[in-house]
Chain A
Amino acid sequence: MALPPRATFPLSLHLLLLLLSLLLATSTQQEQFSEELLLKPLPDRKILAHFHFQNEAPLHADSFARHHHLFPKSISQLVQKFHIKAMELSFTQGRWNYERWGGFDPISSHNAKPPGVELWAVFDVPLHQVDASWKNLTHSLSGLFCTSINFLESSTTYSAPEWAFQSALGSLRYGTLPREAVCTENLTPWLKLLPCRDKAGLSSLMDRPSIYRSFYHSQRLHLSMSSAASDGSRSGIILEQTLTVVLQPNDQNADMNHVSKAKIQPSWSLSSIFGRKISGRCVLAKLSNVYLHADRGLVAQLENLHENSAQFATNDTGPVDFRMNSGFKLSVTPERVHKELGKGSSLLYEYPINDYKDTEQFDLGLSWEHPIVWSSPHAPFYASRFLMGSGNERGAIAISLKSTEMTQGLLTNNIEERCKLQVNVLQVVPWYVKVYYHTLQLLVDERPQVLTDFVERIRVSPSEDKVSPGMMELVLQFPCEMKSAVLSIEFDKGFLHIDEYPPDANQGFDIPSAIISFPDFNAGLQFYDQSESKSPLLSKLQEKSPVLSYTEVLLVPLTTPDFSMPYNVITITCTVFALYFGSLLNVLRRRVGEEERLLKNKDASKAVFLRRVLTKLSAKLRGRPLESTPSPSSSSSSFVSPKLILRVLLVAGIAIAWQYYSQ
């Protein structure tokens, strides 16, 4: 854990702030609120709906007890109290399908989150106070959002990545709870932070059943500081709240003829996917827009279709005046169309809500005219992670990277120079999964490779039992022509103390998602500058940020005791202890010679008749095996006398007779 030298710290902080100030150009002195909704048809007949609410407030030194007009007070207090520089909290249900829904656009890079809760925060406090701030923050957030974020307080659950995730110089803390369930009780406090809640504006679309019926549901809260353009000092808080859902529109003409390849995409409208329409904007919002995004693949297909149909049309001398969007029809004409720079670029249709009156409701609908098959842009490598091995003893984690059409495109572009591709990997493992970092293996194109040839930087902080999780940060440089790479690392499964098991221990234990990022690539979209609309969502889409993807959460079965049998365990241990200590004490205490002497004296003095007979009998018994091999009949006769048998039989007979007559 290399701490940066003291001298460079303020300098780099300064640089960071400068960067922030560049990215977030707006630094206003008033509170501002804007609401936006981005809709995007996905290749696998689903719709992405991305709500984006941004709330800005100026930051005053004395604003701790200040009332805000729009900005939620709880958040500003949080920021003030814990000196938060940046923070992000996300609640996610379902998995983002990087393959079908894309992994290269800003939406997927920012809003595709691992299942459960993810929280990271950067603090503006001295390094030794960061952990304390983090712990307090987790408790405050768990109270605010009705979740068990407070479990992130334990030092075994969070880690401090330094550069693989986001460079924040030691004051970043990162933690996930993969098993946290997400439901409406998390959404309600989140909505409470909005000025109009879900009573007016775009957020009124959030019909709970339809939102929670989605294939992917991620609700996110992002806090950052805006800085004044002049000096780069902190001037305001920006609270960004997003809700990303992937919905399946109801397919009216769903024929079960599955094998027919050309399937037309389902047509949809806002009312059909949410069950509601937009009745108006939130009056407190400065900006209220709805966007429809057609990504590059779709636009390219549309252009193809357009060309074909145009040719067809010219042959047929039909109407030549064919619009760009010949593939689908929109129920409302867009106010503005943003076009991305460059060839084969995506389109963004803009619908301002400002103009709609309360009486007529806004209901954007899209109906497809032709079956179109396209694919979303993919990240340079498709990352997946899986467990290897079986049994309760050991296993291995493997991260596999498969090149996508992205990298193949790169290869043709610059073949002359040796092109390299940087991949950052951040892997956090809980302590009970004891990773052996020396077993880290790298296979490139199915051939084992020396790790140092590809690893540019590596930072490992090994786990400490019951104290901290293990963390591995890697910067890898791969040649562009690489087809696949596999990183594997072995681990032993640890034993937990009985009270460390979570409530449903028999399900197994989660290894949180690894984060794979590609800093060479920029997920931002570059639109022609439409400067008059200072839309936060648009600027977010245009923001230069590395392409980021999360891998799957893994489930490791550990040995679990049989919790349903504490009684048996107690009984058996007590028995074993009693037997052991009893016999041990017996052996230690006994003095055989002494006892024999005592017994003889007793016999001599007190010749009890019965005892003498018994002694004789037992002597007879014990003496006999020493003399010769006993024939079973004779020995049994001495012990089991006919008289005894008779007596036993008599008693049994009486008992049976009693039983029989008592019925």
Chain B
Amino acid sequence: MGANENSSAKPRVRPIVRLGIFLISHSNIVSLVCFLAGVVALLLLPVLAKNTYISENALMPGSANNMLSTHHVSDANKFIKDLTDLELRSMASPIESQKLIAQYMSALDAEVTFHKFYPQFSQFHPLHFFTSPDSGIISKNGTCSSFGVNTVGIIRAPRGDGKEAIVLVTPYNPNKVGLGEAVSLGIAYSVFSLLSHATWLAKDIIWFVADSQYGEYSAVASWLREYQAPVFHKVDIVTSETCNESSTFDELGQGLYLDGKLNGDFRRAGTMAAALVIKVAEQGNQYEDSLNIYAEASNGQMPNLDLINIVNYLAVHKQGLRIKVKKMWSLLDSWWLNTVGIIFESLGKIARSLNPQWKFGIPASEYVEGAATLASSLYYQGLGVPTGPHGAFRDYQVDAITLEISPKVSLTKVIRRNEFILRGGRLIEGVIRSINNLLEKFHQSFFLYLLTSPGKFVSVGVYMIPFALLVAPLPIVAAYLHSNASSSTPQNPSTLGVDANHKSWKWLNSARKVLIFHLWGVVVSLLPFFLCQLPNTTPTMNFILWGFASAFSLLILFFISGCPIFEAAASQPEKNRWTSLKSVTISTTFIGLSLMSVINFATAEIGALLIVPICLLARPLKLDIQAKSWRTLLRASCNIALGFVLFPPVAFVLLKGAFEDFYGINVGDYWNWVESLWAWNSATYLYVGVVHLPSWALCIHILFHPC
């Protein structure tokens, strides 16, 4: 840097300060360069992705031969047949199938228990937002008639000390057992029957058959709550005396009291090491057997990469399954992404022609695939909503993933099904054996990563760069504006002393306004709690009410604070007030984004991509129109467009339209989306309410600033 040369001559100002001053004085070009670099770096991520590798040597996946034989598979087939026959025979009682499962479990010498739960419906608890799920929230709307029964079988490891356990989860709906669910139970059963005789087992195995009639997640979550944070004193409104149905639950246990293997109380088996959720997709995907991995838990938390690596390794190298992670399908055939891919490919070719050592650049098709996967990985992490029942485990720091196996052809043919169960079972067996080998909890590999394909990932060190580049201009521009605002007040020689005093505190006025907007953001994000209390409302109505209430609350807040929303006539010293307002806005946005990056990085990354341009560009329209040059007019139109697009509901509709289609979108959808966010305690909801919305509103405020 050229400034360094001067350091010897001018020791008064140190180089670092000088660099800062330089950056601030060139904030326009710096911010432009940083922002563009940030976007380019984001686009480069699929290129920079590394191949995954198994970091923990103790896992040793695939080092042992599979022990699961056709013998176990035929047992599983019998089990599936019994289960589906039962479905055909007696439509009346779903309890029969649970009984059957328990019988099969206890025949394997497993300890069997039933866990009865009342499903918890999503509710917005503003005060419980960040608290852990064990805070004793008791369902208020659970009724006697609606309860689910989970069946849990535990194999105690022979010679094990019982300190740790591995959990297998198979969700199924006892009211309507589909073939896919039955097969997933069959796979779990084949593995379970193998493990009941396995001598190498060091950790206990829990097979948890979740009753998914009220949703897979709620069944798993309620069992985990009981496992990890039980409430001993039963003070619910749902007591056993008032419920007739509890007798059917008791009756469930009656027939099964087989030599002490089953009794009513809840069973535990040590600290959970990992959990696998097994699902089987009903319809096949024509080409080959494939495996979908879902890993995202709440607030963008991911399981340890090693868990995905084992599954990936075993599925690809041992069982020959085609492995998949979620993709944004709409991105796959977007022309611009293809263009970017082709550009990167040709750049890579040029680089390689210069020096064959530079392994830069991947084929365009691969790039597009990677980008689509990365986008979906970012999106689902950013959303903060778990993508399956495995999310419940992550809340208790247990690594878990959902494996969805989809067969090539329909599973109705028995021979085909046998082979399918054998493959699935061997995969699960291998994964369990690997985890069983591990003496420690998963800690060796990454927890913060984005997947660009099942075998490639972008680690935190790399994906932080685009974000840092995106938000870097914010403090620089804020400092520039601040110095600008404080220096360019009109020099009035008579009131210089007063002015100097007034000048240094001027930003407080703007800070107050910014604070009011942020308060408003908090109020807006709390409003749904009260709207939920209203009976019989449609999402559309709720949304409209919410909008009105928000606008009204903004007016009230300004009325209370005694600060005019729009200064009617800007006096001469107030003229540059908007710069100081913008400066404070930008700094709060920066703080908000930085905080969010700690909580949920993906949200912060997407949020930065959206909010940073308008924060940088915002400038009163009046000034731009007065100037009447093509540049200012372009900027004004850009500002208007961005201001419109970034209004959260509009942004939601546009994104939804871009990734799905515009057909059938109505206003209520936004409400539904927001509802799902708060129901899952997603921090994204807080981000949208407390950071994005006020920042957007302040930018709009600056746009229409009279000066």
Contacts and interface: CB of A to CB of B under 8 A. Distances in A.
Interface in A603-623: 611, 614-615, 617-618, 621-622
Given A95-B156, A443-B233, A611-B9, A632 B161 contact: no
Interface stretch (A117-125, A331-339, A426-434, A550-558): A550-558
Interface in B91-128: 103-104, 107-109
A214 B355 CA distance: 63
Given A388-B229, A630-B25, A553 B12 contact: no
B159 A217 contact: yes
B161 A390 contact: no
Contacts of A44: 109, 259
A552 B270 contact: yes
Contacts of B668: none
Interface residues of A, number: 76
Contact of B29 (A553, A629, A636): A636
Nearest to A617: B6
Interface stretch (B364-372, B437-445, B694-702): B437-445
B260 A178 contact: no
B490 interface: no
Nearest to B13: A622
A258 B104 contact: yes
B159 A553 contact: no
Interface string B2-14: 1101101111111
B158 A94 contact: yes
Contacts of A316: none
Interface string A619-663: 001101110011010011001000000000000000010011000
Interface string B149-176: 0000000101111111000000000000
B53 interface: no
A453 interface: no
Contacts of B103: 259
Interface residues of B, number: 66
A546 to B, nearest CB: 23
Given A178-B161, A375-B260, A615-B10, A508 B265 contact: no
Contact of B441 (A552, A553, A557): A557
A623 B232 CA distance: 73
A386 interface: yes
Contacts of A636: 26, 29
Chain B interface mostly: loop
Contacts of B233: 443, 446-448
Interface string B503-530: 0000000000000000000000000000
Interface in A28-55: 43-44
Interface in A407-464: 443, 446-448
Contacts of B104: 258-259
A621 B26 contact: no
Contacts of A564: 444
Nearest to A507: B440
A256 B75 CA distance: 8
A354 to B, nearest CB: 35
Contact of B228 (A178, A389, A553, A615): A389
Contacts of A443: 232-233
Nearest to A261: B258
A258 B268 CA distance: 24
Interface stretch (A83-91, A193-201, A592-600): A592-600
A217 to B, nearest CB: 7
A384 interface: yes
B579 to A, nearest CB: 10
Given A213-B199, A592-B12, A618 B24 contact: no
B21 interface: yes
Contacts of B354: 656, 659-660
Nearest to B29: A632
Given A97-B156, A507-B439, A488 B232 contact: yes
A115 B483 CA distance: 69
B397 interface: yes
B286 interface: no
A661 to B, nearest CB: 11
A659 B268 CA distance: 66
A427 B487 CA distance: 70
B161, B193, B228, B271 interface centre (most CB from chain A within 10 Å): B161
A259 B107 contact: yes
A391 interface: yes
A526 interface: no
Report which residue of A214, A386, A592, A596 has the largest number of chain B beta carbons within 10 angstroms of its beta carbon. Answer: A386
A629 B488 CA distance: 9
A557 B268 contact: no
Given A259-B107, A552-B162, A390 B25 contact: no
Interface string A90-106: 00011101011000000
A603 to B, nearest CB: 9
Nearest to A552: B162
Contact of A555 (B12, B22, B163, B488): B163
A566 to B, nearest CB: 15
Interface in A56-90: none
A639 B2 contact: yes
B367 to A, nearest CB: 25
B622 interface: no
Contacts of B213: none
A522 interface: no
Contact of A553 (B162, B265, B439): B162
B440 A555 contact: no
Nearest to A596: B12
Contacts of A390: 132, 134, 228-229, 395-397
A586 to B, nearest CB: 8
Contact of B355 (A508, A554, A562, A659): A659
Contacts of B317: none
A502 to B, nearest CB: 11
A140 interface: no
Interface string B227-252: 01110111000000000000000000
A506 interface: yes
Contacts of A622: 13, 18, 21
B441 A507 contact: yes
Interface string B249-265: 00000000011110001
B71 interface: yes
B28 interface: yes
A595 B271 contact: no
B484 interface: yes
A635 B22 CA distance: 10
A202 to B, nearest CB: 23
Interface string B430-468: 000000000111011000000000000000000000000
A258 B108 contact: yes
Interface in B169-206: 193, 199
B234 A386 contact: no
Contacts of B484: 629
Contacts of B271: 387, 508, 554-555, 557
A504 interface: yes
Interface string B276-292: 00000000000000000
A632 to B, nearest CB: 4
7 contacts: A213-B199, A215-B158, A504-B440, A507-B440, A554-B271, A618-B6, A656-B354
Given A390-B229, A508-B441, A632-B26, 12 more contacts: A95-B156, A95-B162, A115-B162, A215-B159, A390-B395, A510-B163, A552-B163, A554-B271, A562-B443, A625-B21, A625-B24, A632-B28
Interface of A: 43-44, 93-95, 97, 99-100, 115-116, 178, 213-217, 256, 258-259, 261, 373-375, 384, 386-391, 398, 402, 443, 446-448, 484, 486, 488, 504, 506-508, 510, 552-555, 557, 560, 562, 564, 586, 592, 595-596, 599, 611, 614-615, 617-618, 621-622, 624-626, 629-630, 632, 635-636, 639, 656, 659-660
Q: Top 5 closest A-B pairs, CB basis?
A: A258-B107, A506-B440, A625-B25, A555-B163, A115-B161
